[in-house]
Every structure is written in structure tokens, then in C-alpha cells.
Amino acid sequence: MITDRVLAFLEAALLTSRGPVMVQGLVEALGDGTVSAAEVEEALKSIRDQLSAPGHGIRLEKVAGGWRYVTLPELDDPLRVFHGLAAKQRLSQAALEVLSIVAHRQPVTLPEVNFVRGANSTGVVRTLLDRGLIRLAGRKKVVGKPFLYRTTKEFLVHFGLDRIEELPEPEKMIQDENFEAE
């Protein structure tokens, strides 16, 4: 049974956390053994449902295997002004292309990315590594032993995904948009 004290703790933990909070971490922090992971998960879903009602400026979402508070997208510009933040640093078209290739084909090597894109992607890969959206995942066991790349947890958080499997398949997106080759 979730008590008011536990609900208050969940809200406070989510509010003060820097990133997504795992259910197991919340259960362990409570430490008394009276609350199960399933009960915490249900309580978080209840909080999420309450915040989805009109009139709330935040919502609770499940991303990267954990839970976090986020502001509504339509409040982004006024919040940036309020906090004195500079304009968003957007990803370039090339960066989005490389991220898409890495996400759908991971683990993937730079030569494979270059082949799919039809362009040299070395600088873009370096930028994505610096931003923490992709990471090294070892070396491929072929001649030259090129590095393998994968997406990171930060990639999931950045795009609001709980798991990489939530990415739409490129073929499905083309069918959904009624795209026809000429």
C-alpha cells in the first residue's frame, strides 16, 4: 500500500534528480521493505495520470528505463526567456542522419555509416561522441579493426524514448507518409 509519505518521497526524488530515476533505486531508497517495485511503478503511473490533466505545466514520463519530470514542449520558449538561456543548440541534418543510422544498425562502424550516408561522417561522429549521444562499443573483428558505435542512455533521454525498440522502423515511416518513388 502506497502511503502519503511514500508518494511525497517519490515526487521529491523525481523533482531533485538530475536524470531519469529507476524504480529499483526508489524502492531501495525507501529501505523499509514495505513497498514493492510494482507498487512504486503503479504510484508513478498514477502521478503521471494526474499530471496529464489540463492546467499542469509538467508531466511525468518514462524514458531510458526510468522516470523523470519534464515541462510541456509549448512552454519551452517562455521558460528559456525566464531562465535567461540562449537559443537551443539544434542537431544538424548530418547529425540526425548519422544518429538515425547508428540507432537502427547498432553496433555500426564509421565506414558503414559513410557508406549508408554517401558522405564522410568523421566530424559528425566526433561531435555526437562529444555530446554523449553515441559511444564507442568496441572494435569489429575485421581487417583494420574499426571502432563500433552505439547510442547512449543520453540519446534515449534526448529523444524521450524508454527503449531503443521504440524507434519507428524507417520502412514503416515511409509507408505511413504514403511516400512513392518516382
Strand, coil or helix: what is 119? coil
Q: Do 71 and 79 contact (CB within 8 A), yes or no?
A: yes
Cut 0.85: pTM above it? no
Q: What is the pLDDT of residues 92-151, one digit of tens each?
A: 999 999 999 999 999 999 999 999 999 999 999 999 999 999 999 999 999 999 999 999
Q: What is the pLDDT of residues 8-65, one digit of tens each?
A: 999 999 999 999 999 999 999 988 777 899 999 999 999 999 999 999 999 999 999 9
Distance CA 156, CA 164 (A): 7
Burial grade of 117 (CB within 10 A; 0-12, 13-18, 19 or more): middle
Domains detected in the chain: 4-73 (1.10.10.10), 93-176 (1.10.10.10)
